[in-house]
A and B are shown apart, each in its own frame.
Chain A
Amino acid sequence: EAEVAQSPRYKITEKSQAVAFWCDPISGHATLYWYRQILGQGPELLVQFQDESVVDDSQLPKDRFSAERLKGVDSTLKIQPAELGDSAMYLCASSPREDLYEQYFGPGTRLTVT
């Protein structure tokens, strides 16, 4: 069964350092989402791509976060510089072109900023 791949699974970094996360969605899925999930809360959308275009990045802290999906397939989320408050689970999800909005999630990257 096809899955969304994410790497790394865990990342520990010092504050002010740069960190990057990678996501490979299910083949053929046009829509890709990056979420941040703080412990004990639900996922919150950071950025949404349709193919290679950004559909919504209104919740992305653009002074330090950036995201790209250059060829409309895999995607990278970057934080520079990392802050202590960025410690969270970063989840990637994808969905097919159909309208049902069901999303398929990767295993996530657990980020700890020290």
Chain B
Amino acid sequence: SQQGEEDPQALSIQEGENATMNCSYKTSINNLQWYRQNSGRGLVHLILIRSNEREKHSGRLRVTLDTSKKSSSLLITASRAADTASYFCATPPSGSARQLTFGSGTQLTVLP
């Protein structure tokens, strides 16, 4: 079963614009992670935010976490064509031993 669900399922923007995707999850977590997957490739870890953090930055990425709403958002600023990929949020399922449950992903297309 999936713990996190991303929204929207697909997003198309112009190069230079900002992209925002959201993730909702069901149970309490101690951290939430975002991964990127280029077409036909493996996933790449982008950023991890702990449950006691509300916001985290990494380069052009900004992640927020609202544990009261059980939601997170990933903002990519000044998007580039190379940002075209699927983005997944991942959370440890309840009682897990070092596991992650992935959502269905947001397919981001950045048009040049």
Contacts and interface: CB of A to CB of B under 8 A. Distances in A.
A99 B88 CA distance: 20
Interface of B: 2, 31, 33, 35, 40-45, 48, 88, 92, 97-105
Contacts of A31: 98
B102 A43 contact: yes
Contacts of B101: 45
Given A42-B88, A56-B97, A102 B41 contact: no
B99 A102 contact: no
Given A48-B98, A56-B97, A105 B104 contact: no
Interface of B is mostly: loop
6 contacts: A42-B105, A45-B99, A56-B99, A103-B43, A104-B45, A105-B35
B97 A103 contact: no
A95 B33 CA distance: 14
Interface in A33-58: 33, 40-45, 48, 50, 55-56
Given A42-B103, A42-B104, A101-B33, A107 B42 contact: yes
Given A101-B31, A101-B33, A48 B45 contact: no
Interface of A: 4, 6, 31, 33, 40-45, 48, 50, 55-56, 89, 91, 93, 95, 99-108, 110
Contact of A107 (B41, B48, B92, B97): B41
A104 B45 CA distance: 7
B42 A101 contact: no
Contacts of B97: 48, 50, 55-56
